[in-house]
């Protein structure tokens, strides 16, 4: 049985770890609701990473592992953001796992 | 993390989509990349078809995982080899294959394409150097 | 009686195509799909075998499987035609028997 989350009156199926079942269904409101469940308020800095992850998935068809994310963020958004301290400050449950979940992506490949 | 770095080879011999081997291998390679070993990814026989450019799976209803090979560089894998004889037997050249870029963030060393087409003697030598070969 | 032979395995990995071409008789049709499409490409080690067979039999290749694997019709051996899923169904309907070389 799939779990559901409700966003703007619509139901979306998620897997047992809370990842969106169908990534094509993603709307920005889903990230907001998931963040609220994690007691987070999304800022522009969070959205930079969420949008970055969606673009990364679009191009490579994969949700990157945390160190790959760190490296790629550094390349794209600047070295001051491409470090795990900064990313963990935004996403305390793990920048790849939590941000990928907010972005509607599957659990990152290579997270062990 | 293990303290001794070992040479691991992932040996890919199957075409994509017809069987699950190619995708399973790619997933294992990406997960295994977290362990900081000396990894090489080898494509021989029908495995060379995994790297062809312009794959478009819309009409067969399967996930197109060919773009994912281009992330191997991001996963710190720097050794990707293709057997020259396997390419030639299939009427293919390196131009038919995707390019995989690699960059060291610290030193800013960049390689535009780490995919290397090698002869069979070199394939054998690399196999002989490996502490383990994972075959798909 | 006419037969449609189908081959979905790579000619470099299995002998499905080889057996198919051995037993197919003049007038038969062959449809290459899934990993079988690799047999339809020009410049391969087995092109001479396939090209020779075209004198006696017609060979088709399934477009969606060709495109999934990164190849366009320009890469095909001359004389091989591309069909879509509906064309596959038509071929099956036009022949008395379908023999799948698994």
Minimal CA–CA distance to C12: which of B91, B40, B94? B91
**Using CB atoms, which residue from A62, A71, A110 is nearest to B105?**
A71
In a domain, A111, yes or no: no
Query: What is residue A67's three-state secondary structure?
Result: helix
User: How does residue B107 score in pLDDT terms, banded at 50, 70 and 90?
Assistant: confident
Q: What domain range is C73 assigned to?
A: 3-101
pLDDT, residue B3, reads 67
In a domain, B74, yes or no: yes
Catalytic site residue from A5, A21, A77, A111: A111
Give the count of alpha carbons within 13 A of A96, CB side only: 22
Would you call A67 an interface residue with chain B, using a CB distance cutoff of 8 Å? yes
What's the rounded mean pLDDT across residues A54-81? 89
Would you call C41 an interface residue with chain B, using a CB distance cutoff of 8 Å? yes
Q: What domain range is A49 assigned to?
A: 3-102
Predicted complex ipTM: 0.92
What's the rounded mean pLDDT across residues C82-95? 97
Q: A61-99: b or e for each residue (b if 16 or more CB lie within 10 Å)?
A: bbbbbbbbbbbbbbeeeeeebbeeebbeebbeebbbbbb
Q: What domain range is B44 assigned to?
A: 7-135
Indicate the number of domains in chain B: 1
pLDDT at residue C64 greater than cutoff 70: yes
User: How does residue A2 score in pLDDT terms, banded at 50, 70 and 90?
Assistant: low
Q: Do B68 and A72 touch (CB under 8 A)?
A: no
pLDDT, residue A67, reads 83
User: How does residue A95 score in pLDDT terms, banded at 50, 70 and 90?
Assistant: confident
The kind and range of the H/E element at A12 are strand A10-14
Question: Which of A66 and A52 is assigned the larger pLDDT?
Answer: A52
What's the rounded mean pLDDT across residues A1-6? 80
In a domain, A110, yes or no: no
Residue A76, token pair as written in the block: 């794209």
Nearest CA in chain C to B60: C64
Interchain touch C–B (≥3 Cβ pairs closer than 8 Å): yes
In a domain, A112, yes or no: no
In a domain, A58, yes or no: yes
pLDDT at residue B90 greater than cutoff 90: yes
CB pairs under 8 A between A and B: 42
Pairing state between β B7-12 and B132-135: parallel
Q: Any residues with CB less than 8 A from the CB of A57 and at least 6 apart, and which?
A: A23, A63, A103, A105
Q: Of A15-29, A69-83, C33-47, where does mean pLDDT reach its minimum?
A: A69-83
Span B18-53, pLDDT tens digits: 999 999 999 999 988 878 889 999 999 999 999 999
CATH number, residue C44: 3.40.1260.10
Indicate the number of domains in chain A: 1
**Using CB atoms, which residue from B67, B70, B71 is nearest to A68?**
B71
Span B116-132, pLDDT tens digits: 999 999 999 999 999 99
Partnered with residue B83 across adjacent β-strands are: B118
In a domain, A109, yes or no: no
Q: Of A56-65, B75-84, B89-98, C11-20, where does mean pLDDT reach its minimum?
A: A56-65
What's the rounded mean pLDDT across residues A7-32? 93
Chain C residues with CB under 8 Å of B87 CB are none
Distance (Å, rounded) from C-alpha C9 to C-alpha A83?
Answer: 47
User: How does residue A30 score in pLDDT terms, banded at 50, 70 and 90?
Assistant: very high
Query: How confident is the prediction for chain B on average, in pLDDT?
Result: 94
- C-alpha distances (whole Å) from B30 to each of A63, A71, B8, B130 are 11, 15, 13, 18
In a domain, B1, yes or no: no
CATH number, residue B62: 3.40.1260.10
**Residue from B16, B29, B30 whose CB has the most chain A CBs within 10 Å, to mutate:** B30
Would you call B65 an interface residue with chain A, using a CB distance cutoff of 8 Å? yes
Span A63-72, pLDDT tens digits: 988 888 888 8
In a domain, A108, yes or no: no
Q: What are phi and psi of A76, to 5 degrees?
A: -90, -45
Q: Do A112 and B34 touch (CB under 8 A)?
A: yes
pLDDT, residue A65, reads 87
Span C13-56, pLDDT tens digits: 999 999 999 999 999 999 999 999 999 999 999 999 999 999 99
Query: How confident is the prediction for chain A on average, in pLDDT?
Result: 90
Nearest CA in chain B to A79: B105
Nearest CA in chain B to A62: B68
Chain B residues with CB under 8 Å of C8 CB are 18
A111 is catalytic: yes
């Amino acid at each position: 049985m799939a779990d559901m989350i409700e966003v703007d009156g619509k139901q979306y199926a998620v897997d047992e770890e809370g990842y969106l079942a169908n990534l094509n269904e993603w709307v920005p409101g889903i990230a907001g609701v998931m963040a609220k469940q994690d007691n987070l308020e999304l800022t522009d800095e969070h959205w930079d990473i969420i949008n970055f992850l969606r673009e990364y998935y679009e191009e490579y068809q994969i949700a990157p592992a945390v160190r790959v994310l760190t490296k790629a963020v550094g390349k794209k958004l600047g070295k001051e953001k491409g470090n795990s301290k900064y990313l963990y400050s935004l996403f305390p449950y793990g920048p790849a796992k939590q941000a990928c979940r907010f972005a509607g992506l599957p659990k990152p490949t290579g997270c062990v | 993390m293990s303290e001794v770095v070992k040479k691991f080879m992932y040996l890919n011999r199957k075409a994509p989509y017809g069987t699950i081997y190619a995708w399973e291998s790619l997933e294992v390679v990406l997960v295994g990349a977290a362990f900081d070993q000396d990894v090489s990814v080898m494509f021989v026989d029908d495995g060379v078809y995994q790297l062809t450019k312009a794959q478009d799976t819309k009409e067969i209803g399967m996930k197109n995982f060919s773009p994912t090979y281009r992330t191997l560089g991001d996963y710190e894998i720097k050794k990707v080899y293709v057997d020259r004889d396997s390419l030639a037997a299939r009427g293919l050249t390196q131009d038919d294959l995707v390019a995989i870029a690699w960059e060291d963030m610290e030193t800013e060393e960049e390689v535009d394409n780490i995919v290397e087409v090698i002869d069979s003697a070199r394939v054998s030598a690399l196999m002989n150097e490996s502490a383990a070969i994972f075959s798909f | 009686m006419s037969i449609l032979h189908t081959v979905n395995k790579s000619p470099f990995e299995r002998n499905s195509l080889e057996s198919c071409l051995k037993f197919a008789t003049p007038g038969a049709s062959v449809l290459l799909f899934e990993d079988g499409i690799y047999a339809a490409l020009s410049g391969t080690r087995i092109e001479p075998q396939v090209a020779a067979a075209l004198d006696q039999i017609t060979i088709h290749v399934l477009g969606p499987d060709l495109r999934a694997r990164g190849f366009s019709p320009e890469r095909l051996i001359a004389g091989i035609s591309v069909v879509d899923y509906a064309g596959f169904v038509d071929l099956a309907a036009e022949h008395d028997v379908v023999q799948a070389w698994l």
